[in-house]
Structure 1
Amino acid sequence: MSSDYSLVFPRAHGEPLGHAKFRAQPEDFYVDEDLGFTCDGAGEHVYLHIEKRGDNTEWLARNIARLAGVETRDVGYCGLKDRHAVTRQWFSVYFPKGDEPDWQALNSESVTLLAVERHRQKLRRGQHKSNRFVIVLREVQAQRDALEQRLQTVARQGVPNYFGEQRFGIDGGNLAAANRMLIEGIKVKNRHKRSLYLSSARSYLFNQVLAARIDQGCWRTPLPGDVLVDGAPTGPLWGRGRALSDDKALALEEQALAPWKPWLEPLEFTGLKQDRRALVSLPQQLSWQWLGDDLQLAFALGVGAYATAVLRELLELQTEPIML
């Protein structure tokens, strides 16, 4: 088992067709969260629909808790949205009785309150239906015909459902921390950090299996013994319990995870349960248009899928320093 946590994974549709500037400004990466349901209009939880620019989801949740006079744990949201972006998402606040604060006080140069509703349940992680992205890639240098053909392929076949690099921390730092926990037995008292490191480890193992299936040309094709979701193959999210796959699928997974065997048993004793994740991420309603030399993409992805998994199948991205 190597301590070099490579974050370079094989692509499914060939090498990048050129390069472009990515996130030159927050407005170049727009995310709109779709809950998939409407609020009841009554209940113990206040729902806040908020647009933020260049702000961290957890920071905003703490500000909401402070304004409401509640504990941070009483503020719910479906997921962490990119900081270097313009994002719209929902927050819930447990506020069963009493006079509500002036929620407009949340407004600032970077935060805009869009709506206030009431609902009967707290928002939970992963509860939303999808995220809608509008992404602008600047100064694209690629043959347009080839790039549009690649986009058509992605629309038909999808992309590998990799966990994005941000999952693993700067230079894979979360993986190094996970290794210290799992192998060296170092205790992490902070529950949030502990959960983050363990999640990073099992996400990395999933990526290893997905990479192996891409190398063997079967990332979209079910193998004997595969666990299918909507007819498509899945990969393991490691944890306690027997492997859910069997036969050739299990053999491939065991081979891919063999170098990481020292992580497997300790992960089983963390309380995490075996689970599965789709190997394929299919962008919904994928469209694009040229804005001079810039390319604007629009698409929706299901819960837990990364927009960067789509972009990496198209172009080499040059991340620009963001001015906030």
Structure 2
Amino acid sequence: MDYREFFSQFKHLSEKPGIGGKIKVFPEDFIVVEEPLPQIFKGKRYAIFLLKKRNWDTMAVIKEIAKRAGISHREIGFAGTKDKHAVTYQYISVPAEIKEKVDAIQIRDVELRFVSYGKFIKLGHLIGNRFMIIVRNVGVNAFERTKEIIRELREKGGFPNYFGYQRFGEKRVVNHIIGKLLLQGKFEEAARLFLGYADGSMEGDEARRNFWETGNVERALEEFPRFLRYERTLLYTYRKTRSWRRAFLSLPMPILRIFIHSYQSYLFNLYLSRRIEELPLNEPLVGDIVVQVKGGIPYRDRTYRVTETNINFVREKIRTGQAMVSGPLFGFSVRKAKGLPGELEEEILEEEGITLETFKKLPKPMAEPGGRRELLIRPMGLIYGYLSEKGMCFRFFLPKGVYATSLLREIMKDH
């Protein structure tokens, strides 16, 4: 199953036909510019560089810079991962004493420019991202169709804030399933899927299929390519401990958390899709949890419940762009909705055979408290138009954690 098939289960909010087309035909078709928090530039212990990369995975380029600078990749800070098949600009922090070394690094399709001194950049140290995206091979009347879709979505309060396909795996769309199996304590089944699932288009797929059929760990260690380092770590640890649980815990914590976050994201997307079908998104209901918004930026840690007493007040806040209805990022201490929204949350958990306590039973570093996320998002500064014979060009700004591909999905209707 590829990501298009996977995403077809999630409803579009816009009912009008899309413009079709393709994104990321060339890396230059997808440009991302990070808007950092101003606080990162306060301090002297770290040197802040602007990193421009083309066709590089964020973690891969961070590791390459670290290797050439002679430091651990953990000493390099960055605010968030960026798309690989794109041209992206983001800020990184390195220890001040190696500024000259980093200045001298030359890597193909990578540029590093010293900006200033500051503090260590942590995940989440950004306001959002600016995008310039070209959609090629669009259908006829693409401009007029775009205009109609955007008008329709503005009337409905914004774009559905789905987690994008990057969260689940573009080719091997299994991260969320592995996450669910880990939550359920089914470590052997999770390992079989992580190691053995092949989509038929990637190097190492034959080795994966062999493991899927035989479960032979020794053979897998011989056949799995070296670049599948996390898979090989899992196999080595299992051979040593004969425990798939211990094998998973030998992986770096960020990798383990990807699986859990992916399953949380899947449940959120399910909730959002069901809400499009059954309940309003831009109209607060008694029992809803609402996220505060300032200057178009949602503050997901500032929430309040809709009651019969304050519903008119909340309705006005939503109308003036100062609040948004939220959906659940399920976890052991998530603030649950009540009323009809709460019933929908419970239905999804029951259908999945999961309870909130399940998120607490994970090994401690993986335990997920959960949170809330706005159901709709309003891109800022959205402009669009034809770009000669290339197709349509879109420019906009999105707060952190919001996927440009989900916004374009409503316009393109490609999946």
Same fold (TM over 0.5): yes
Code of the aligned partner of 1:288: Y
CA apart distance, 1:244 = 3.1
Higher fraction of strand: 1
**Any unmatched runs of 5+ in structure 1?**
319-324
SS at match of 1:197: helix
Q: Which residue of 1 aligns with 2:124?
A: 126
Contact 2:54 2:87 in 1 (8 A): yes
Contact 1:22 1:317 in 2 (8 A): no
Q: Which residue of 1 aligns with 2:407?
A: 310
Q: Which residue of 2 aligns with 1:275?
A: 371
Corresponding pairs, count:
311
Q: Which residue of 2 aligns with 1:138?
A: 136
Aligned-pair identity in percent equals: 29
Q: 1:193 to 1:108 in 2, by over 3 A?
A: closer
CA apart distance, 1:185 = 2.9
Contact 2:160 2:376 in 1 (8 A): yes
Match of 1:209 among 271, 279, 283: 271
**Within 5 A, what are the aligned runs for 1:1-324?**
6-8=6-8, 9-37=10-38, 40=41, 42-95=43-96, 98=97, 100-119=99-118, 121-143=119-141, 144-154=143-153, 157-169=157-169, 170-186=171-187, 187=245, 188-189=248-249, 190=251, 191-230=253-292, 231-241=323-333, 243-262=335-354, 264-270=356-362, 271-293=367-389, 294-317=391-414
Q: Which residue of 2 aligns with 1:322?
A: none
Which protein is bigger by CA-based radius of gyration?
A: 2
SS at match of 2:354: helix
Code of the aligned partner of 1:212: R
Contact 2:328 2:334 in 1 (8 A): no
TM-score by length of 2: 0.70
Q: Whole-Å Cα distance in 2 between the matches of residues 283 and 145 of structure 1?
A: 19
SS at match of 1:289: strand
Q: 1:142 to 1:312 in 2, by over 3 A?
A: farther
Greater relative CO (CA pairs within 8 A, separation 6+): 1
Code of the aligned partner of 2:159: V
Residues 24-33 or 143-152, more deviating? 143-152
CA apart distance, 1:42 = 4.1
TM-score by length of 1: 0.88
Q: Whole-Å Cα distance in 2 between the matches of residues 65 and 252 of structure 1?
A: 46
Give CA deviations for 1:271-300 in whole Å, capped at 9, x if unaligned: 211311111111000001211341000000
CA apart distance, 1:15 = 4.9
Code of the aligned partner of 1:269: K
SS at match of 1:312: helix
Q: Whole-Å Cα distance in 2 between the matches of residues 145 and 102 of structure 1?
A: 52
Code of the aligned partner of 1:228: V
**Any unmatched runs of 5+ in structure 2?**
188-244, 293-322
Code of the aligned partner of 1:199: H
Contact 2:13 2:276 in 1 (8 A): yes
SS at match of 2:99: coil
Q: 1:130 to 1:295 in 2, by over 3 A?
A: same
Residues 41-50 or 254-263, more deviating? 254-263
Give CA deviations for 1:76-99 in whole Å, capped at 9, x if unaligned: 11111000000000111234xx46
Contact 2:180 2:260 in 1 (8 A): no
Q: Whole-Å Cα distance in 2 between the matches of residues 65 and 181 of structure 1?
A: 31
Q: Whole-Å Cα distance in 1 between the matches of residues 105 and 282 of structure 2?
A: 45
SS at match of 2:167: helix
CA apart distance, 1:251 = 1.3
CA apart distance, 1:175 = 1.9
CA apart distance, 1:133 = 0.4
Q: Which residue of 1 aligns with 2:317?
A: none
Q: 1:171 to 1:41 in 2, by over 3 A?
A: closer
SS at match of 2:173: helix
Q: Whole-Å Cα distance in 2 between the matches of residues 263 and 178 of structure 1?
A: 14
Contact 1:39 1:117 in 2 (8 A): no
Give CA deviations for 1:117-156 in whole Å, capped at 9, x if unaligned: 210x211112200100000011211423222221344456
CA apart distance, 1:267 = 1.9
Higher fraction of helix: 2
